[in-house]
Structure formats: structure tokens, C-alpha cells
Amino acid sequence: MDEQQRVASVADWYLTEQLDFDKRLIRFRFETLRPHLTGAEGLELGPAEGEMTRLLLDRFTSLTVVDGSSALLAKIPESSKLIKVHALFEDFVADRAFTTIVMEHILEHVDRPVDLLKRARTWLAPGGRLLAGVPNGHSIHRLVAVKMGLLSHPCELNARDLTLGHRRVYTPDSFKADLEAAGLRVMTRGGVFFKPLSNQQIESHWTDEMIRGFYELGRDFPDFAAELYAVCE
């Protein structure tokens, strides 16, 4: 299967299988990253069906989004501030410099994450920031899965990883190592959402107050949160 086929094979999940809680996590990620967005020219790699795109549009004068799936791009509402580019990340050629680049849940998918980060670094305007986020192999729910015998180790690819086309699961150390190997300086990093159970269990049984509380708790225990993020220059 080539890269374009890989993208097409997972695109339908975002349109038919994504939970409301999955989208809630995207909004939490935006809430976490919002203070670090800078300048007028934004670039979002991998917008999927546009859950975060809708929020980013209010922050930038111009927002370019790049996705390998034309079906997903078509689901994003048109806007005079929005530029859609149908391309693999590895093939994208920037026609401008960006003050903020958002790479949320991208690095676990691509074949050569450090190479992509090196390319993205060249797209930054002077003083610009690159914001990256990945699922965390040391999330409490994955550590518990090891204790239960469901995973052999925290970074083993589980059924959801395989469905979504993940190639790897990051830890705080491996995430930082890839960013630094690409020549990026990590200004700050942290975690999003303290997640002891699966997304489906949380959606089925938790109240809004519980979900908000565990989001706030993720700030206190970043290395064991469900998601990792980094703000880089």
C-alpha cells in the first residue's frame, strides 16, 4: 500500500466512526494551544474533517490546511480566509512563510517524522512557532492496559492505532528527541487530559463535569496525560 492509499484507507473513520468525545479532545487540544498561536499566517497539517480548523480560523487572517484526503477536505466549510491544499505532507510546497504551524496528531502517522519536521521548520516565518501534538504511550489508560495484559508494553500499537494508521506511539522522551533531532528548540511542553479509561467508556459514562475535571488534571500530570504537546521555535 502506498502513502496515498494509506491516507484514503483511514479517512472514512473520521467521517463515520469518530466519537463526540474524540471531537471534545480536539477542542481541549485547541484550548491548550490557543495561548501559543502567533501572527496572522497559519498552517494546519492534517485537519481531517476540520474540527480544529473551525477554531483556528477565528485566530488567523489566513489559514492554509493540507491533507492527503480530498474527501476530508471537502467536509471543511469554505471561508475567504481558508486555503485548502490536497497533498501528502511530504509533497507539500509552501508558497509563503507561516507564523504558526499546527501539527496535531501527524507525527505518529508519517513514515519519517524527523524529516517532515525538518521541512516544516523551513516554512516558519522569523519568530514563528511550530505546535506539535501526539498521543502519549505513557498515558494512564495504556499503562493500565499493560497491567491487565491487554498490551505487552505501553507503546505497542493497539487496535485503534492500527485502524488509524499509526506507525508509532510516542513517549515524552521520544517526542522531545524527534523535535530536537529536527533542529527545533522546545520552548514549552505539556499534557492534555488525564485519561484512565477508553474514549468509548468516557463518552458512555462520564458527565461534562468529570470530563472537564480530568482535562484540568492533565495539566498537573503532563507525562501521564493522554496527549503530549510541544511549542517549538
Asked whether residue 233 carries a pLDDT value surpassing 90, the answer given is yes
pLDDT digits (tens, 9 = 90+) for 134-180: 999 999 999 999 999 999 999 999 999 999 999 999 999 999 999 99
DSSP 152: S
By C-alpha distance, which of 75, 73, 77, 74 is closest to 58? 77
Cell numbers describing residue 133: 501534538
Q: What CATH number has the domain bearing residue 186?
A: 3.40.50.150
User: What's this model's pTM, rounded to 2 decimal places?
Assistant: 0.96
Instruction: Calculate the alpha carbon distances from 8 to 26, 130, 157 in Å.
Output: 21, 26, 20
* pLDDT grade for 1, boundaries at 50, 70 and 90: low
Q: What is the mean pLDDT of residues 16-32?
A: 96
Q: What is the pLDDT, as a whole number, of residue 9?
A: 83
Cell matching residue 43: 498552517
Q: How many domains does the chain fold into?
A: 1
The pLDDT of residue 11: 87
Query: Under a CB-based contact definition with an 8 Å cutoff, are residues 193 and 181 in contact?
Result: no
93 φ, ψ (degrees, to nearest 5): -120, 120
Q: What digits encode the pLDDT tens for the residues 59-82?
A: 999 999 999 999 999 999 999 999
Residue 65, burial from CB neighbour count under 10 angstroms (0-12, 13-18, 19+): buried
Q: Of 96, 84, 148, which Cα lies nearest the Cα of 122?
A: 96
Q: What is the pLDDT of residue 3?
A: 87
Average pLDDT, the chain: 96
What's the DSSP call for residue 53? H
* Structural domain boundaries enclosing 139: 3-232
Kindly state the cell numbers that stand for 34: 490557543
For 181-198, how does the pLDDT look when each residue is reduced to its tens digit (9 = 90+)? 999 999 999 999 999 999
